[in-house]
Chain A
Amino acid sequence: MPSLNRALRRVAPFALVAAIIGVLVVPGPQSSAAAPTDGLECETSPSNSFSLTASGGYISTPDGNSIYMWSYGDTGGSFQFPGPTLCVESGANVTVVLHNALSEPTSIMFPGQNKVLAGGKPAQPENDANGNLSSLTTTAAANNGSVTYTFVAGAPGTYLYQSGTDVQKQQQMGLFGALVVRTKGHPDQENGRADSTFDPAHEYLYMLSEVDPDAHLAVERKRTYNWNNYTPRYFMINGRSMPDTIAPNHAEWLPNQPYGALIHIRPYDEQTNPRPALIRYLNAGTTNYPFHPHGSDEQLIARDGHPAQAPDGKDLSYSNFLIDPAPGQTVDTLMTWKDAEHWNSATNPVPVPLPQLQDQIVGPGTETWFSESPYLGESDAQLPPGVVQNNQCGEYYHVAHSHALQQATNFGASFGGMMTLIRIDPPAGCPGQ
């Protein structure tokens, strides 16, 4: 059945990549190294000190909706969702100053980090005047209060940071981000194990979340909301829904959603491209997100900052075509795609006939990512009139998406939501890129 509200705004992001670089404004002591157009973008600081401000702002969804969010942004910078990806080295003394621009108290929890201090004292749950729990951790007061958290970065891995105050509301509103703890001396390893080596040029973040627009409208209009009615309609990776997920980092038409989720790799090659990509999954939602990468399995090597290994150090990682992080959980995987059959139009053609254009459905919308050729690096320019070709040089695209398929929609419209693409370029790359 045709979708009700098929994405109104589709993007052809790849041609725009070059125009986007350079819009990044980086405030404060922290900095984002040369912003990659895709992949994980780290915010780092020589002193491992970060200053975040919790505030409100708006994001857009591919069907044309605008959603009021709360999120952490760099102090003095602009609103962004999700919060900056903070990267530190294991063992570093980390400082995070939280400024609160919201009209209610808020806070940051660092699950997975031990002995977190707030104002130099152990961060603790707070109670109101009646002795009732009012926050899971030490808060910054409403209306420009602040609090300083310090901790020693723990084991290498992927962690959430998130509000510990009125969590059902504040986390749904968007108060979360990623903390990446890097391996001391081995920036190309997910953890201390040599078999966690990855290609640092192909490191990706999947911050998975969901939005109930009714709840956000109630908060925006300062109305009460009955959380028993909570029904998420939008499902996101890094704060964007498909097809916005495949737009570059810092796409100018998504000013408050700086992080893309396109995976962009080349085929595995023992000599020229032996290292896998690393994908860091974080579940910032309320339910499992069963994430299905097409095209190749992923090796689960760590969960919640702990390597998949036996007490004696033997490897207990495993292969998956479905990664199913639970709420609050993080999962790290290694992935490659291999040209298993080396199909070649001249020397090794696929052994089945290809239908002519009249005997296939292209799209089925107004655009396609298929080169109309089975062969990596080849393309057939023929397309039905009116169909936009997003393929550039015969590269392959696979989809990766939540297999709770209602989550792979934008408010019910398919080919949206918690979904992104895996782009596989020819071994020599795309000409001109």
Chain B
Amino acid sequence: MSDRATPRGLSRRAILAGVAGAAGWAILPAGSSVGASARPRGLAVPAEVPNPSTEIHLAGTDGWVSMPGDAPAIPPFWPDPLARENSNLYVFGFRDVTGMSPDEVTAQRGKAQISAPMLSFDQETDVKITLTNLGLSMRPDLTDGHTVHWHGFQNAIPLFDGVPELSISVPIGRDFTYFYRPHDPGTYMYHCHFEDVEHVQMGMTGMLFVRPVQNDGTHGVPAGTYAYNCGDGSTRYDREFAFMMTEIWAESHYRDAHIQVNDWTDFEPSFFALNGRVYPDTVKPNAPDFDPVKAGADARYDPRLQYQPISSLITCNSGERVLLRLANLGYRNHAVTVDGIDLTVVGKDAGLLRGRDGTPNYQVTNTVEIGPGESRDVIFEAPAVDRPTTFLLYDRDYVSLTNSGGRGYGGQMTEIRVYPTGTLAPQAGANT
């Protein structure tokens, strides 16, 4: 049974509502872009039963992060002489301030992180994301707005799409709440769309994914973790790891910190990051709870990476199925390669790779090409090993394996560490 066929089953809310209570049901139209036949996600939703809901509070601001200190200098641009302790690169970014008091939120000014907090939601959940603009600590002369653009959200309305000229943006000291009701599982990304060429380059980019309703076990497959409503278990996984791929043009970051202007058509990146870090930082652990504030007080954690909290290290046991969620918010195409393990591409742009008639279109490869603004969902089965074994995941575009033009052991590279069966406990969350 395909993703397209899934809605023949009853949604969790439909069951909650009682099947007989058909009066007052709102019929949501199919979510697809190509007519009713394509993805009939026309779930019959009992309007009187509220969806599950979740609320997130993000703040947009600036800050400082760290690229490896042994990379060749790019005088005078990098390392940036204005940088504070343990850092060398100026950025803009988001912070997760959910649950904080207003004073605590304000205190996050100048403490942006890259990559942005990783967000995930269950399909058919009512999502509210409140964005607060904290302003730029280094640039009191700038009054830039910020927005949240959920990149790839289907059938969006302009108010919640985050494009300033076609919507609104959030001034400094104000906030705005975006609302989403995701119907389409898969891997997305989010970013600020205010002066997008600048704010995206400066670091306001993050991963976002939607988990399919079939995870609950009521759609013809056992309860579990799946990438899509595949209906046949082919997108089941044991562990998931997400990778926000970006390029960092150090000169432009310097110019933003030093009140100079950029010609963005001169774009020439110096660092190539996975989740805001370059190799070998990519394999260092997550900040505890992914939280830069807590991380700062945690002796286990590298203070250099306080504002780059997300690890890209992949760990798994033999025989486990591993989902890689890839998204590229750089401005160049990349080619993600794994040596020694076959990769199966099951999704592109938050869409299951099946024709409109259900024909399978998965691709088995060892190199996944991914352009700017694209996402891919890739599953591999960890090979059998009798001792811990390391495989490399890297960008076959070798230029992206250097840190500011140094040796080719940096950039968009990380490790897949496979352990004998039963070594690792079940995964607690993405990228752990």
**Partner among B35, B265, B351, B372 whose Cβ is within 8 Å of the Cβ of A412:** B265
Q: A353-B177, A412-B262 are in contact. Are A337 and B155 (CB under 8 A)?
A: yes
In the complex, chain A residues 105-119 whose Cβ is within 8 Å of any chain B Cβ = none
With a cutoff of 8 Å between Cβ atoms, the chain B residues found around residue A320 in the complex are 348-349, 351
Interface presence of B13 (CB below 8 A): no
Q: A399-B166, A405-B200 are in contact. Are A340 and B28 (CB under 8 A)?
A: yes
- Which of A45-53, A78-86, A154-162, A355-363 is near enough to bind chain B? A355-363
**Partner among B26, B158, B170, B181 whose Cβ is within 8 Å of the Cβ of A397:** B158
In the complex, chain B residues 13-32 whose Cβ is within 8 Å of any chain A Cβ = 26, 28-32
Q: Which of B177, B200, B263 has the most CB of A within 10 A?
A: B263
Interface presence of A3 (CB below 8 A): yes
**Partner among B33, B171, B176 whose Cβ is within 8 Å of the Cβ of A297:** B33
With a cutoff of 8 Å between Cβ atoms, the chain B residues found around residue A362 in the complex are 168
How many A-B Cβ pairs are below 8 Å? 246
With a cutoff of 8 Å between Cβ atoms, the chain A residues found around residue B177 in the complex are 352-353
With a cutoff of 8 Å between Cβ atoms, the chain A residues found around residue B36 in the complex are 270, 274
Q: A405-B264, A409-B264 are in contact. Are A363 and B348 (CB under 8 A)?
A: no
Q: B356 near A315 (CB under 8 angstroms)?
A: yes
> How far is A317 from B358 in the complex, measured between Cα atoms in Å?
10
With a cutoff of 8 Å between Cβ atoms, the chain B residues found around residue A337 in the complex are 33, 155
Interface of B: prevailing SS: loop
> How far is A396 from B160 in the complex, measured between Cα atoms in Å?
12
Interface presence of A42 (CB below 8 A): no
With a cutoff of 8 Å between Cβ atoms, the chain A residues found around residue B156 in the complex are 294-296, 398
Least Cβ distance of B47 to chain A in Å? 9
Least Cβ distance of A415 to chain B in Å? 6
Least Cβ distance of B133 to chain A in Å? 9
0/1 string, B323-348, CB within 8 A of A gives 1: 00000010111000000000000001
Q: A3-B195, A270-B36, A359-B174 are in contact. Are A322 and B373 (CB under 8 A)?
A: yes
Interface presence of A104 (CB below 8 A): no
- Which of A141-149, A176-184, A365-373 is near enough to bind chain B? A365-373
> How far is A370 from B388 in the complex, measured between Cα atoms in Å?
56
With a cutoff of 8 Å between Cβ atoms, the chain A residues found around residue B151 in the complex are 292, 321
Q: A294-B163, A322-B349, A403-B373 are in contact. Are A340 and B265 (CB under 8 A)?
A: no
Contact residues of A with B, CB < 8 Å? 1, 3-4, 195, 231-233, 268, 270, 274-276, 288, 290, 292, 294-299, 308-310, 314-322, 324, 334-343, 350-355, 359-365, 367-370, 374, 376, 396-399, 402-409, 411-412, 414-415, 421
With A321-B152, A334-B34, A351-B126 known, 13 other A-B pairs at CB within 8 A are A1-B198, A292-B373, A299-B33, A309-B355, A316-B359, A319-B38, A319-B350, A324-B333, A343-B157, A355-B176, A370-B159, A404-B331, A405-B197
Q: Pick the 10 closest A-B CB pairs, nearest first.
A: A403-B373, A315-B355, A319-B351, A321-B152, A324-B371, A405-B197, A314-B359, A412-B263, A340-B155, A360-B168
Contact residues of B with A, CB < 8 Å? 26, 28-39, 126, 128, 142, 144-145, 149, 151-152, 154-159, 161, 163-171, 174, 176-179, 181, 183, 194-198, 200-201, 256, 261-267, 329, 331-333, 348-351, 353-357, 359, 361, 371-374
- A–B pairs, 17, beta carbons within 8 Å: A276-B33, A288-B333, A297-B33, A299-B32, A314-B355, A319-B34, A319-B348, A334-B35, A338-B32, A338-B154, A341-B28, A351-B179, A352-B128, A354-B159, A399-B163, A403-B372, A404-B372
